[in-house]
A and B are shown apart, each in its own frame.
Chain A
Amino acid sequence: MPALDPFVIAGPILIVVADIIVYVAVGKLGTKSSGKGNKYQPFTGGEEQIPVRGTYQSELFVFAALFMVVEAFALLVAGSFASPTNLYPLLFLAGGGGIIIIATWWLLIVGGMRQ
C-alpha cells in the first residue's frame, strides 16, 4: 500500500487556518456594526415595504440535498474503479462527502427547510 503524504490532510487544514487568521486580521481594517433599524434591514431597492426574512421553496433544497448525496455515491463508485486498495478512495470520498453532508445538515438545522 503506498504511503499517504501527510500534507494531503495537513495542507487543506493549514489553508483553512491561515485563511481564517487572515480574515480576522483583515477585519481590523474596517468597522463592524449590527443592530436594529432601517440601516440593518434587508435591501429593498427603494421600496417602502421592508420585507421580512425571505422565504423560498424548500422542495428545491430537498432536491439539491438528494442530488449531492447521489453525486457522492456516484463518485464513490467512480473512485473504486481499478483501485488497488479501498483506503484512499474511501478517505477522500469520506472527507469530501462528509463536508457536504455536514454543511447541508448545518443548513437544515439552522432553518434552511423553512417554507
Chain B
Amino acid sequence: MIATEVAEILIFPGLTFFVWIAFLFDWLDRKTSARMQERVGPLLAGPSGILQPVADFFKLTSKEEIIPEFADKFIFFLGPPLFFAAPAIGIIFIPILGTTPIVSNEYDLLFVLFIIAFSALMAAFLGYAAAGRWSTIAMGRLIAQYTGYEIPLIIALVTPAVLAHSLSITGIVLAQQSLWYIVYAPLSFIVFIIAALAELEKRPFDIPSAKTEIVGGWMTEFSGRPLAYIKLTKNLSYAFLSALAVSLFLGGPLGPVLFADPTLQAALEFVYFVVKLLIVGFVIFVVRTALARIRIDQAVRFFWMVVTPLSLIQLAVIMILWWK
C-alpha cells in the first residue's frame, strides 16, 4: 500500500509523468511558436524533434557549472532543486486518474496557493544568489510583477472554491459534474490565464527574463546543471498551472461516461484530462507568441487597474448569485 502510494507520487501520475509532460509542453511551445513565425522549430532529436527538450536538458547538465565569485554559494546550490520542488509538490494534489488525486485534503487549494507564492519567491532568491548586474535588475522586476499578479491570481482561484463551497481541489472537481466552472466564472478563468502568463514569465509578461534587455534576466549567471533545472522547472510550472486550470475551471478529468467498466472509464478520464491540459497549454503557447512584451510599469498598472478589478467583479457576481 505504501509502496503503491510512493510509486504514484514519484512515478505515475506524479513526478516522472509530469516531467515528461513538461518536456512535451516545451516542445509544443517551441513548435507552435515556430509555426506561427513561419519557422520549422525543433526537428532533429526524435520524430519532429519531440525529444529536443530532453536532449537540451542533458546537454546543459553535462556542461560546466560555473559558480560566480560573488554568488551566494549555499542558495546557488540549494535554490534550483527547491525551485523545482514547488510545482513538483503541487501536482500531487491534482486529480488526474479519476477524481481522486494521489494526496488530498480538505484545504489543499490553500497549500497550492502557497506553493505558487513560494515558487516566485525562490526565483527572486536565485536572482539574488547569482549577484550579477542583470539578475539584480531582473529580481526587482520579478518582485514588482509578483505583487501585481498575485492578488488577482488568488482571487481567480478562490472563485471556484466559493462556487463549490470547498477548499479542496477534489471537492471543486466533483462539484463540476453538471457544468464546468468556466461557464459560471469565465472572467476568473481569463484572469487566471493572464496571471499564469505572468507567473511563468511568458510574453507579454516576460519582463524579468527579457532577453533583449537584460540578457538572461535572473538566470544570467546560471550555467550547466542549475540552468537545466531552472528551465525544466519553468516548464513543469507551465504544466502544473495548466493542470490547475483544468481542475478548477474545466472539470478536471470529468467527461462523458462511455464505459461501464470502472478501469476503462478511469483510462478515458485520464485521456480527457490530458486533452484538456494540452488545450489550456496551447492557449498559453498561442497568446505568448502572438503578443509583444510590455514594460514593468505597464504590467503592474495593468494588473492593479484591470485584472484585479475584473477578478473582484467576477467573485462579487458569484457571491451574490450563489450565496447559500
Contact = CB atoms under 8 A, between A and B. Distances in A.
Interface of A: 2, 4-5, 7-8, 11-12, 14-16, 18-20, 23, 26-27, 29-37, 39-45, 51-57, 60-61, 63-64, 67-68, 71, 74-75, 78-79, 82, 88-89, 92-93, 95-97, 99-100, 103-104, 107, 110-112
Interface stretch (B39-47, B77-85, B266-274): B77-85
Nearest to A70: B151
Most chain A beta carbons < 10 A, residue from B136, B150, B221:
B136
B89 interface: yes
Interface string B65-92: 1111110111100001110110011001
B110 A78 contact: yes
Interface size class of B (residues with CB under 8 A): 35 or more
Interface in B3-18: 5-6, 9-10, 14-15
Interface of B: 5-6, 9-10, 14-15, 58, 61-70, 72-75, 80-82, 84-85, 88-89, 92, 102-108, 110-111, 113-115, 117-118, 121-122, 124-125, 128, 130-137, 139-140, 143-144, 146-147, 150, 154, 158, 165, 167, 215, 220-221, 224-225, 228-229
A-B pairs, 10 with minimum CB distance: A96-B114, A54-B136, A42-B132, A34-B67, A40-B69, A23-B81, A53-B70, A32-B65, A51-B133, A12-B89
Contact of A15 (B9, B58, B124): B9
A14 B324 CA distance: 40
6 contacts: A19-B81, A26-B225, A27-B225, A32-B65, A34-B68, A40-B66
A74 B157 CA distance: 14
Contacts, number: 198
A36 B92 CA distance: 42
B65 A14 contact: no
Contact of B140 (A4, A7, A56): A56
A54 B62 contact: no
A110 B134 contact: no
Contact of B103 (A5, A57, A61, A63): A5
Contacts of A68: 117, 121
A1 to B, nearest CB: 11
A103 B122 contact: yes
A97 B118 contact: no
Contacts of A104: 121
A88 B118 contact: no
Contacts of B113: 75, 96
Contact of A88 (B105, B136, B140): B105
